[in-house]
Structure formats: structure tokens, C-alpha cells
């Protein structure tokens, strides 16, 4: 791989990280809406969409663990479409793990 390519990837990593904090804020908001007493039905779709976006680019840009966690979260939601509630412990655990990695991507 040539130097221009690596420099280009580095710029993309910076852009990805800048957008990641915005996406994480949206994810935290959606998770709050999902776990609220009067749960928002759209919140699960928002979480799935954010996880999808992160999983698409994170691992390619070198954030392997974050990419895998996002993909796992998305798969869990898609695999059990329509059957999740705020009490679903598995979903809570995956989204919490995703938020933690988005706070501190490695």
C-alpha cells in the first residue's frame, strides 16, 4: 500500500471518529427512549441503524472490536425483529457494550 493511500485512510479515521461521537450521542438517546417507562417503538430501529452504520466502516478503518460489537448488536436486533422489549437483558448488554466502545474506540 502506498503512502498516499495510508494518508487517505488516516484522514478517514479522523472523520469517522468525529462522527462517532455524534452517533454515540444519538445511540445513548435512542437507548434512553427504549428503556423509558413509556418506551418509544422507533428507538429499536434507530439503534439498529446506528449499529449498522458503525459496523460498515469501523473494522475496515482499524477499529476491529468496535466493528464486531456493532455487527453483533445489529444481528441481535435483526434476528429477533419486533420481539424486543426494554427488559431484554441480551439487548441491553449488547447496546451497553457498544456505547462503551464508541466512548473509547480501540
What is the binding site for another protein (CB under 8 A)?
1-2, 4-5, 8-9, 12, 15-16, 19, 52-53, 55-61, 67, 71, 74-75, 78
Beta carbon of residue 98, minimum distance to another protein (angstroms, whole number) = 14
Please report how close the Cβ of residue 37 comes to another protein at its closest, in angstroms.
30
Q: 39, 49, 26: which is closest to 84 by C-alpha?
A: 39
Of 3 and 89, nearer to another protein (C-beta) is: 3
How many Cβ atoms from other residues are within 10 Å of residue 31's Cβ?
Answer: 22
CB 69 within 8 A of CB 44: no
Distances (CA, A) of 72 to 9, 40, 65, 102: 25, 22, 10, 14
CB of 71 to another protein, least distance (A): 6
CB 80 to another protein: min, Å: 13
Nearer to another protein, 8 or 25 (CB): 8
Amino acid at each position: 500500500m502506498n503512502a498516499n493511500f495510508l494518508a487517505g485512510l488516516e484522514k478517514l479515521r479522523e472523520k469517522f471518529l468525529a462522527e462517532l461521537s455524534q452517533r454515540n450521542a444519538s445511540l445513548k438517546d435512542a437507548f434512553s427512549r427504549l428503556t423509558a417507562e413509556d418506551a418509544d417503538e422507533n428507538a429499536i430501529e434507530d439503534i439498529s441503524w446506528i449499529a449498522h452504520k458503525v459496523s460498515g466502516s469501523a473494522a475496515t478503518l482499524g477499529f476491529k472490536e468496535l466493528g464486531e460489537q456493532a455487527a453483533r448488536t445489529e444481528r441481535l436486533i435483526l434476528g429477533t425483529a419486533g420481539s424486543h422489549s426494554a427488559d431484554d437483558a441480551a439487548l441491553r448488554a449488547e447496546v451497553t457494550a457498544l456505547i462503551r466502545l464508541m466512548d473509547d474506540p480501540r
